[in-house]
Structure 1
Amino acid sequence: MSLNNGLFQLGIDLQRGSSNTQAEVQAEVIEFKAPHGEVTADSSSDERKDFFIVKDGEKYAGTHLIIELAGAKFLDSIEKIDAAMRECVEKAGATLLHIHLHHFTPNGGVSGVAVLSESHISIHTWPEADYAALDVFMCGDARPHECVEVLRAHFEPTDVVVDELRRGKGLV
């Protein structure tokens, strides 16, 4: 992959310029990494949706769901996967920045990611085994658990396994 193509996939088009300046991107990164005060997901005065969570007396960066679908259908369909990811974002109340999906041949598997303001959703499918591995990581007000039923509806799996991690627990 050429440098320009790789940068373009990251949202930086050297020929036309990026939609954000480097200073704007750095300011966004600094702003996210700098919340030193006690910030809770139920803060009505904070318009940001990517802040730390305080729940059950624990402060953490976000909820990370590891989701496995077995006996699933449509795992070779870029269109179906794209639609499922977009609906997950909507139902979770997250903010979509970009989706990138790659279709492998000859087995038809798909790998991809939806990059969110609140983090990401990633997927890797093995249609020949009717299996998909996903991870859904979201912070702030986003509701990652809403994605589980969306995935059930889109891929009709016979079995769903969900593991949950609270990322940054005890570290933030």
Structure 2
Amino acid sequence: MHGLHLTADLFDCAATRELMTDRGVLQEACIRLVRRSGLTVVGDDFHQFAAVDGEPGGVTGLVLLAESHLAVHTWPELNAVTLDVYVCNFRQDNSAKARALSDSLVELFVPGHANRNDLLRGAPHSPDSPDGAHLTLEWLTPDVVHGFARQRPPVAIQTPVQRLEWHDTRALGRVFTLDGAFMASERDEFIYHECMVHVPALTHGDPKSAFIMGGGDGCSARELLRYAGIERIVVAELDPDVIESCRRQYFAVNGGALDHPRVNVRIGDALGTLRESEAEYDVIVMDLTDPGDDGSLASELYSTETYALVRSRLTANGLVTLHIGSAFYHPERFRKTLSDLREVFTEVAAYKAFMPVYGCEWGMACASMHGNPANMAAREVSAGLAKHAIQGLRFYTPRVHASLFAWPAYAEALGA
């Protein structure tokens, strides 16, 4: 049963309409390409789906091979095709033939872009799959994937804004994703949120007000509530379903911070919330999804125009923090964000911490017109924590503070 399984998801296909909608045309093409690849046809079945709203339906086809099978499904309404080729390698290695067939099929449909995967199957000494539902994965870049074994299939919510999923993993506990990107996990979120909040708050010294852009998981608000002097915290979250879901699913993690009397949750665009009021804040936390990707809801929030608006809403000694991605995996995003911040603020300090949920050292930045956290000595951090009676932190300490700002040479060359 040892074999090779090849899959391909094809998008923006420029193939002829007949190939996508005519059972006979697709059947002839598939059988011809199978035989050209050197594989052996032993049977086939192709099904034509009925027209929908006057538009022709797609076709599902199966070609049985002596070596295993080819399956193809066309989606003319989406200009998309899914296909898979599986061959066993029991008596001879058919891998080259399978790859030739897969390549020729992809070429046949002329996709604008394609997602292709290879899977070796039937290796008797391979480890058991982590579980029936297998893995939760995120693409750090188009070439690097990162993920975790999960204990059961995810719970998915399609909100009007994005796709929210809850994953129960063995390594990091409950993890939630937005549009397939890891946001936070219950076992390591404290690293990110302690760094995002305490670096600017202790640099300020005595924060009274804070504004969180995004932050629907409630964890940044939780850390800010450690400061008894904080009088008001505004959480501006675009997606109400994130707030409601995290109230239920992450209550043990955020400690009910979203319902604390000093926390005011505003549903809607964070920039709009900032523009509609002249209120100023001692700390602004940009706790947003990643910028820079096509279709990212947060992309437009990472700009000099946004930073200028943020600066106008900071008190004289106020500071803003945001995450800036990985210097190793996202060098251009990292460089540009720091460069844009320096066009607006006089003080910009880059810092970082390794985040297991993101699979890399994750960059952050703190910007202001006056204070610079990189200049704070360990004794000042210690005094600040004691002043506010902050205890029980799990990552951030006076000694760790100094290490946050120590960057390797390749990151310094990007502006760190």
The CA deviation at 1:135 is 0.9
5+ long unaligned stretches in structure 2: 127-416
Paired with 1:86 and 1:156, the residues of 2 have a C-alpha distance of 18
The CA deviation at 1:171 is 5.0
Q: Is structure 2 residue 29 aligned with structure 1 residue 75?
A: no
| Among 43, 53, 59, the residue aligned to 1:98 | 43
5+ long unaligned stretches in structure 1: 1-51, 53-60
Q: Which has the higher contact order (CA 8 A, sep 6+)?
A: 1
1:84 is aligned to 29
Which secondary structure does the structure 1 equivalent of 2:124 belong to? coil
1:9 is aligned to none
- 1:62 partner letter: G
Which deviations, in whole Å up to 9, do the C-alpha atoms of 1:128-164 show, x marking residues without a partner? Answer: 0011111100123332111233213322221222101
The CA deviation at 1:88 is 3.0
The CA deviation at 1:94 is 1.1
- Whether the 8 Å contact between 2:46 and 2:59 is mirrored in structure 1 is yes
| Among 82, 105, 123, the residue aligned to 1:151 | 105
- Whether the 8 Å contact between 2:44 and 2:63 is mirrored in structure 1 is yes
- Whether the 8 Å contact between 2:21 and 2:76 is mirrored in structure 1 is yes
- Please report the RMSD computed on the Cα atoms of aligned residues, expressed in angstroms: 1.9
Paired with 1:112 and 1:155, the residues of 2 have a C-alpha distance of 15
Paired with 1:77 and 1:166, the residues of 2 have a C-alpha distance of 33
- 1:94 partner letter: L
| Among 79, 84, 87, the residue aligned to 1:138 | 87
- Whether the 8 Å contact between 1:70 and 1:160 is mirrored in structure 2 is yes
- Whether the 8 Å contact between 1:92 and 1:144 is mirrored in structure 2 is yes
Paired with 1:161 and 1:147, the residues of 2 have a C-alpha distance of 16
Paired with 1:154 and 1:117, the residues of 2 have a C-alpha distance of 23
Which secondary structure does the structure 2 equivalent of 1:129 belong to? coil
TM-score (norm 1): 0.59
- Whether the 8 Å contact between 1:87 and 1:150 is mirrored in structure 2 is no
Q: Is structure 2 residue 12 aligned with structure 1 residue 63?
A: no
Which secondary structure does the structure 1 equivalent of 2:63 belong to? strand
Measured at CA, do residues 66 and 153 of structure 1 come closer, stay the same or move farther in structure 2, by a change above 3 Å?
Answer: closer
- 1:102 partner letter: H
Paired with 1:80 and 1:138, the residues of 2 have a C-alpha distance of 24
| Among 95, 114, 120, the residue aligned to 1:160 | 114
Q: Is structure 2 residue 62 aligned with structure 1 residue 117?
A: no
- Whether the 8 Å contact between 2:12 and 2:111 is mirrored in structure 1 is yes
Which secondary structure does the structure 1 equivalent of 2:77 belong to? helix
- 2:41 partner letter: L
Report the more deviating stretch, 157-166 or 85-94.
85-94
The CA deviation at 1:82 is 1.3
- Whether the 8 Å contact between 2:6 and 2:102 is mirrored in structure 1 is no
Measured at CA, do residues 69 and 80 of structure 1 come closer, stay the same or move farther in structure 2, by a change above 3 Å?
Answer: farther
TM-score (norm 2): 0.26
Which secondary structure does the structure 2 equivalent of 1:88 belong to? helix
2:234 is aligned to none
Question: How many pairs does the alignment contain?
Answer: 113
- Aligned-pair identity in percent equals 30
Extract structure 1 runs of 4+ deviating beyond 6 A: none
Paired with 1:80 and 1:152, the residues of 2 have a C-alpha distance of 16
